Amino acid sequence: MSFKEKVIYQIYPKSFLDTNQDGVGDLPGIKQKMPYLKQLGVDMVWLSPIYSSPQKDNGYDVADYTAINPTFGTMEDFDNLMAAANEQGIEIMLDMVFNHVSTEYEWFQKALAGEKKYQDYFILRDEPTDWVSKFGGNAWAPFGETGRYYLHLFDKTQADLNWRNPEVREELFKVLRFWMAKGVKGFRFDVINLIGKDEVLKDCAENDGKPAYTDRPITHEFLQMMNQATFGQDTEMITVGEMSFTTVKECILYTKPDREELNMTFNFHHLKVDYKDGKKWTQMPFDFAKLKELFHTWGTQMSEESGWNALFWNNHDQPRALNRFIDVDNYRVAGAKMLASAIHLSRGTPYIYMGEEIGMLDPDYDSMEQYVDVESLNAYQELLDAGKTEKAAFEIVKAKSRDNSRTPMQWDNERYSGFSQVAPWLTIGRSAAEINVAKELQEGSIFKYYQQLIKLRKQYPVISDGSYEAFLPEHPQIYGYVRRLAEHSLLVINNFFAEETTIELPEEFLAGDVLIGNYAVENITREFTLKPYQTMAIYY
Ligand code: GLC
Ligand code: CA
């Protein structure tokens, strides 16, 4: 089966299931839930980082790429998890954080101790540039007592690696081979479009310096080298690159098969349509016209030029899409299905983030004390420094924090939602008694809807392989598209609002069949009225 027919499920290991009652999720917990994932029908499970790490950025600060973080378990637990997954026909994708390492990594420690070999593993300069860290503040920090500075595009404990050094590349390729030898079948590459730094780094006042270090041409060369040296030899491997602040043009280059870089890319433009003036730490209702334009541009251009998108609404860095795009007080269930259809029937490989399949919501915390994410804490401080009141700053953090999606999985309505028997590392969401797996499997319909979407992708080549074109691109409420493959077509219509709207269906679909939808449809008529958040796919 090609990556076009597969659906990938993301797990944030800290928050999935705690089996040794220390309040933190672990590998045996993930293993235990493999039958659940099998029931859902996903093909591959992507694990956010499970490696040795001081956890300053929840594992995205890796201290050893080939050691398991003891909080999550042992290498034996990992092997057991792999075996249990494979037994269910599920493959494992690991998260490779190759732009930077934790400053606790042996390489950085040796560099600090003066070893020249390791100093060349990092980006050290006498004169720092004016770049701003993505987690706030200066992107450069003093390199010990040397008078030099090291680059950290993220937290100051995450030092950027020098990919221009062939020894660094070889170290990283070795890491990939290590995990491939264990049977890992997929890699998700963290902020991989930042790895290629120019030889001469330049100041850049625009956008905190991003244009100076993002999507640099040499990045493509590095990806080709990595492909050739590792996963490119194995046609079953699936690779996805997380692309920060990128363009469709670049993503076509990253994913066009004949360039031999990656299978697909994540981009985040569609999750910035509720950023005021492009700034994350603000609040604004989402801009539907912009969302649609982005989906259509990416959908059409990737389709025309043989690129491939990773499709997603949620991940461990985003507040829950339900809270952002849907009136959840009145339409949580219909809205969850509409959002799911909008991407699962589109052109690309869909990703489900844990809890999405039961319609989980943001936790609705009531105090700053409940947040732990470094980015959120920094942002709160910056908002106060900029003159916001505590209440106003809190409201923004509450809407935007990455912790929104990192709360423990809601398995049942027990005290700690079946995640653990002790207080978890991050407070459980307020809705856990109402929204949980046990209840959803008994009487819910969102999980079933996801099951159906996953099956359809495997049954209908027009879903996995069809082209993409926009439908009613100017409509103020509808996001729609048509997929085509040989003699078959699929029309997908999504009402993104709580108000009804009447549209005209194209002639060619009047004799079609409804493949899936969130309301019962009696008749496909030329004049068709869509209910609040209605989604419907017509196959002809
Ligand atoms: C990516 C990860 C995020 C992490 C950052 C730095 O954006 O998804 O969680 O903080 O990279 O590694
Ligand atoms: Ca545990």
- Quick one: 71 and 118 in the same domain? no
- Quick one: 243 and 134 in the same domain? no
**How many structural domains are present in the chain?**
3
Distance 33 CA to ligand 2 centre (A): 14
CATH of the domain at 516: 2.60.40.1180
C-beta of 97 in contact with ligand 1 (< 6 A): yes
- Quick one: 512 and 430 in the same domain? no
Whole-angstrom distance, CA of residue 9 vs CA of residue 25: 16
296-315 in b/e form (b: 16+ CB < 10 A) is bebbbebbeeebbbbbbbbb
- Quick one: 477 and 409 in the same domain? no
Answer yes or no: 190 catalytic. Answer: yes
Helix (H/G/I), strand (E/B), else coil: 467: strand
Output the tens digit of pLDDT for each of the chain's 540 residues.
999 999 999 999 999 999 999 999 999 999 999 999 999 999 999 999 999 999 999 999 999 999 999 999 999 999 999 999 999 999 999 999 999 999 999 999 999 999 999 999 999 999 999 999 999 899 999 999 999 999 999 999 999 999 999 999 999 999 999 999 999 999 999 999 999 999 999 999 999 999 999 999 999 999 999 999 999 999 999 999 999 999 999 999 999 999 999 999 999 999 999 999 999 999 999 999 999 999 999 999 999 999 999 999 999 999 999 999 999 999 999 999 999 999 999 999 999 999 999 999 999 999 999 999 999 999 999 999 999 999 999 999 999 999 999 999 999 999 999 999 999 999 999 999 999 999 999 999 999 999 999 999 999 999 999 999 999 999 999 999 999 999 999 999 999 999 999 999 999 999 999 999 999 999 999 999 999 999 999 999
- Quick one: 235 and 330 in the same domain? yes
Helix (H/G/I), strand (E/B), else coil: 122: strand
Helix (H/G/I), strand (E/B), else coil: 88: coil
Print the SS3 string covering 268-325.
CHHHCCCCECCECCCCCCCCHHHHHHHHHHHHHHHHHCCCCEEECCCCCCCCCHHHHH
Does residue 12 lie in a domain region? yes
Q: Which atom of ligand 1 has the smallest separation from the CA of 402?
A: 9
Residue 295 is part of which domain span? 8-98+166-366+405-456
For ligand 1, atom 12, name the residue with the nearest CA: 60
- Quick one: 317 and 445 in the same domain? yes
Does residue 197 lie in a domain region? yes
- Quick one: 336 and 270 in the same domain? yes
- Quick one: 140 and 250 in the same domain? no
CA–CA distances in Å: residue 348 to residues 107, 187, 212, 309: 38, 17, 29, 5
Phi, psi values for residue 525, rounded to 5°? -115, 160
CATH of the domain at 25: 3.20.20.80
Helix (H) / strand (E) element for 36: namely: helix 34-40
Instruction: Tell me the best of 190, 265, 316 to mutate to test the pocket of ligand 1, counting ligand atoms within 8 Å of each CB and taking the most.
Output: 190
Does residue 379 lie in a domain region? no
Phi, psi values for residue 286, rounded to 5°? -70, 150
Distance 512 CA to ligand 1 centre (A): 43
Radius of gyration of the chain (CA): 23
- Quick one: 350 and 424 in the same domain? yes
- Quick one: 116 and 145 in the same domain? yes
Identify the pLDDT of residue 238. Answer: 98
**Residue 91 one-letter amino acid:** E
Distance 214 CA to ligand 1 centre (A): 15
- Quick one: 224 and 120 in the same domain? no
**Boundary-marking domain end, from 422, 456, 490:** 456
